[in-house]
Amino acid sequence: MTRWGMVVDVDRCTGCDACVVACQEENNVQIVGESEAANGRAMHWLRIERYVEGEFPDARVTFRPVLCQHCGEAPCEPVCPVYATYHTPDGLNAMVYARCVGTRYCANNCPYTVRTFNWFDPEWPAPLDRQLNPDVSPRVSGVMEKCTFCVQRIQGAERAADAAGREVADGDIRPACAAACPAQVFTFGDLEDPESRVSRLAKSPRAHHLLGDLGTQPGVIYLEGADWGGNAGDGEAGDETEPATTEPSTTEPAAPATAAAGETSP
Amino acid sequence: MSDATGPQRVRVVLPDEESLRGAIELLERASLRARVVEVRSSVPLSEDLAELAPTRRSRAPSWGIAGGIAGGVAGWLLALFTAKAYPIVTGHMPIVAAPTSGIVIYEGIALGAVLATTFCVLREGGLLRRRRRETQPHDEERPPTGAIAVTFEADGVLASRVAAFFAEGGWRKDTT
Amino acid sequence: MAGSGDRARERLALNRFRPWLVVATLASGALTLLFFYAWGYQLWNGIGVVGMNRPVSWGIYESTFVFWIGISHAGTLISAILRVTGAEWRRPVTRCAEAITVFALCVGGLFPILHLGRAWKVYYVMPLPNSRGLWPNYRSPLAWDSVAISAYLIGSILYLGLPLLPDLAILRDRASGWRKRFWTLTALGWSGTAQQWRSLEAGIKVMAIVIIPLAVSVHTIVSWDFAMTLVPMWNSTIFGPYFVVGAIYSGIAALLVAMALLRFGLKLGDWLTDSVFSKLALLFLVMTMAWGYFTFSEHLTAWYANEVAEARVLWTRLTGAAAPPFWTMVVLNFVVPMLVLPFRRGRRPVPLCLVGIGVLIGMWLERILIVVPSLATPRLAYTVGSYTPSWVELSILAGSAGLFLFLYLVFMQAAPILSVWEIAEGERHEAGPSPVGAGGASSAGARTAGARRDAGHDVGAAATGGA
């Protein structure tokens, strides 16, 4: 079995928003415009949460990219009366736009507030209307949507692997955000495969789930809590920073610098 | 009253319960023992008068229970088949989740009971026959509010005496 | 009993034309048009014309939905409880209460549809066989809603309709022309035979028993729309009974307002007496205290446990952006009723009507206070939001009240708003010595032994002798 998952290394994030833009373009996400965004209707499947700790000049800014967590026990799924959102066998929390009637119940029950709603029909100002992704269906007014882990890329990689007569290899699939990130914050792969990069990273002592105490079993794992000497990740014992490193089992049980309260290790 | 031998019906309209009681007592005294076959009123009668005409015990409670069982089964089948028809996992719940099916079953029971009870009341009251509704002869002769229409049945001679009795008393009468 | 009672009943059933009725019908009709205009505007332009956003994706529509479903508990539930317990003072109350139920449900039932992003796809939620093999998901509270509300609506219509048949027959027998045809059709050929009465009374008893757990379940399920979620201050075991109590509370308030308006507007003081108001007011007082108790418990537990996400919502309500409506609610729903209702002079129609209006406003505020602050302060504090309703939502809110009034006023033209036959039956109970409500157990002999001194007591013997 496969369970697609993602590791987000918060310590590496520079808050450049390249992932947000890449996601928007890849997935034909509606551009709502200034006034609608001011109404709280900006549509990003991925957002960068910015937190400032301390007072200037001793301030420290941290960024946390938040996207759909693809929960194993997703609260959003059972509340939908029409099966518009459900769990795929490979661990994706899927949205079927054609079924959605727009109750917005799933959005309420998402503790991560990552679901976005099409309040109006989409319009793309020229020339953006010419760069729509043909692999992704646009959504109409009244339909809920959210991060799909770039399911079109997953399927594309599976088709390519099928055609080549092999299995999908670790690293074949790169969602748009991962591809666009200059700091390599995002790592995507199969959490069921113990050898995959994402699995090895998930064993890091820095790893935790967002709001893990809710028991939603997210498929997104955050790495957070490196020593803030400015060398994120490097000083962490056993932390995976290079794809080539293959010794996660030697990880010392060094006391992880736990992140915010209410977050637990997976 | 053309045929003086067969059973005849005499219908009288009395203004209120007191007159009905009085009339029946006078009939009794005069030994005119006609059978009451129907009592109609626009408001429910006191129990003694309601018992004048033979009525059947209403089966509404049994219908309600039967309807509740049927509705509960229907609710269970609804919850079962809708889940089985599209067996996908949502939120790690079982495909057929007992507690949520229970809610549908509960509502099914209530709906079934209500529908069956209504059906029973309408059926026992003869209110489901659309045709007859228009053609019932006494549609034109309904008792005014508060009044009571009583239909007696008796053999020809007795019937005419009952009719005469009411005619003498100045009560409205109506024979069929 | 016959003379004056009959005339009175006639007045009750037929004398309905009054200028203020025409004015009220036209005014509520205008609001109804506003309702449908705003809805049409929303359908045409997209659901985005509302003020909702992320994270506040439910707003006035949902709280007004809960409000109307709550109002609907006025009738069927209260009338059923009074019928089951054999409370005599129910007689003038049942019909106008049951009509509130049916029309409040009709109006409330529209809200889950009109809040949808794609309202024209609402049939996806219904269990209709389709080529996709896709049926509704009965693991979703919204699907429970659709089942429960349909069952309750059908049940309430039948529960209103069955006892209505004899009254429609009375109207039919006096009318002429198209009115006669209308009432001939609606009275289903009711002719008042003893069998019909017997079946009707048995049927009403069964219905009243069934409808009580049904009504309780409906508002419980409405509360579960909220309580099943992970949203702070929604995920609460107290919500089921809390909503049911709130529903009955707002239902009684609506009933008192309606009864006061009927009493003064239609001069029905002979039936909607001070004593009826006073009895209902005592029930109202009990519900005030129950509501206060639940509200206190709900907030106390959140305050004491002091869990981060819940505390944020709690303080939004107590001292934050939602504080003005919150304290208004407390005053209207608890302080004012507790100052008025315990006193005999407060339990008269006029103060009750005013308190009732206040409680209606307060209960609507309660629902919006449940919906919005919880959504506006989600667990991840980064996405905190706010909510300002748009003119479309406000128009639909006002329009829904208009729609309700319009339906109610039209119903008043089509059927007696007080149950003629039930009142007549009750008058006989008071006047006549033969106790009818005693059930089949009491024999003719027992009644004969009573103090009556007229010809009635040996009717049973005459009947038996004749048969």
Q: What is the pLDDT of residues C104-128, one digit of tens each?
A: 999 999 999 999 999 999 999 888 8
User: How many residues in total does chain A contain?
Assistant: 266
* B89, B101, B103, B104: best to mutate for the A interface, most A CBs within 10 A: B89
Q: What tokens were used for C301?
A: 């537990």
Which of C169, C206, C211 faces B60 most closely, judged by CB atoms? C206
pLDDT digits (tens, 9 = 90+) for A71-108: 999 999 999 999 999 999 999 999 999 999 999 999 99
Beta strand ranges found along B3-114 (DSSP E)? 7-14, 35-41
Higher pLDDT, A257 or C186: C186
What would the mean pLDDT of C151-180 be, rounded to a whole number? 87
- The answer for B 4-33 residues in CB contact with C (under 8 A) is 15-18, 20-22, 24-28, 33
pLDDT digits (tens, 9 = 90+) for C371-413: 999 999 999 888 888 999 999 999 999 999 999 999 999 888 8
The CA distance from A64 to the nearest CA of chain C, in Å, is 10
Give the full edge-to-edge strand order of the sheet including A220-223.
A186-190, A4-9, A220-223, A207-208
Give, as one character, the DSSP assignment of residue A119: S
Is pLDDT above 60 for A30?
A: yes
* C47, C149, C231: best to mutate for the A interface, most A CBs within 10 A: C47
What would the mean pLDDT of C162-177 be, rounded to a whole number? 84
The three-state secondary structure class of A114 is coil
Interface touch B92/A72, C-beta < 8 Å: yes
Q: What tokens were used for A110?
A: 């998402």
Rounded Cα gap, residues C288 and C358, in angstroms: 12
Is pLDDT above 60 for C448?
A: no
- Residue B94: band (very low, low, confident or very high) from pLDDT cuts 50, 70, 90: confident
What would the mean pLDDT of C268-297 be, rounded to a whole number? 91
Which of C50, C141, C383 faces A113 most closely, judged by CB atoms? C383
Nearest residue on chain A to B86, judged by CA atoms?
Answer: A83
Interface touch C191/B136, C-beta < 8 Å: yes
Higher pLDDT, A180 or B21: A180
The mean pLDDT value of chain C amounts to 85
Q: What tokens were used for A18?
A: 């390249």
Residue among A85, B67, B130, A90 nearest C158 (CA): B67
- Residue A263: band (very low, low, confident or very high) from pLDDT cuts 50, 70, 90: very low
Question: What pLDDT, on a 0 to 100 scale, did the predictor assign at position C99?
Answer: 92
Is pLDDT above 50 for C45?
A: yes
Question: What pLDDT, on a 0 to 100 scale, did the predictor assign at position C1?
Answer: 38
Helix (H) or strand (E) holding A19: helix A18-26
Is pLDDT above 80 for C299?
A: yes
The pTM score is 0.87
For the ranges A136-140, A143-147, B11-15, C179-183, the lowest mean pLDDT is seen at B11-15
Q: Does C241 touch chain B (CB under 8 A)?
A: no
Interface touch B90/A72, C-beta < 8 Å: no
Which of C116, C231, C378 faces A101 most closely, judged by CB atoms? C116
Nearest residue on chain B to A218, judged by CA atoms?
Answer: B91
Is pLDDT above 90 for C431?
A: no
pLDDT digits (tens, 9 = 90+) for C82-101: 888 888 888 888 888 999 99
Phi, psi of C335 (to 5 degrees): -65, -55
Is pLDDT above 70 for B27?
A: yes
The three-state secondary structure class of C91 is coil
Is pLDDT above 80 for C137?
A: yes
C56 neighbors C372 (Cβ within 8 angstroms):
yes
Higher pLDDT, B151 or B175: B151
CA angle C467, C441, C455 (to 5 degrees): 55
Is pLDDT above 80 for C311?
A: yes
Counting residues of chain C whose pLDDT is more than 70, the rounded percentage is 88
At which residue do the structure tokens 């369970």 appear? A3
Q: What is the DSSP string of C46-88?
A: -GGGSS--SS----HHHHHHHHHHHHGGGHHHHHHHHHHTT-G
- Residue C435: band (very low, low, confident or very high) from pLDDT cuts 50, 70, 90: very low
Selection from B131-145, C171-185, C237-251 with the highest mean pLDDT = C237-251
- Residue C30: band (very low, low, confident or very high) from pLDDT cuts 50, 70, 90: very high
Question: What pLDDT, on a 0 to 100 scale, did the predictor assign at position B127?
Answer: 82
Q: Does B145 touch chain A (CB under 8 A)?
A: no
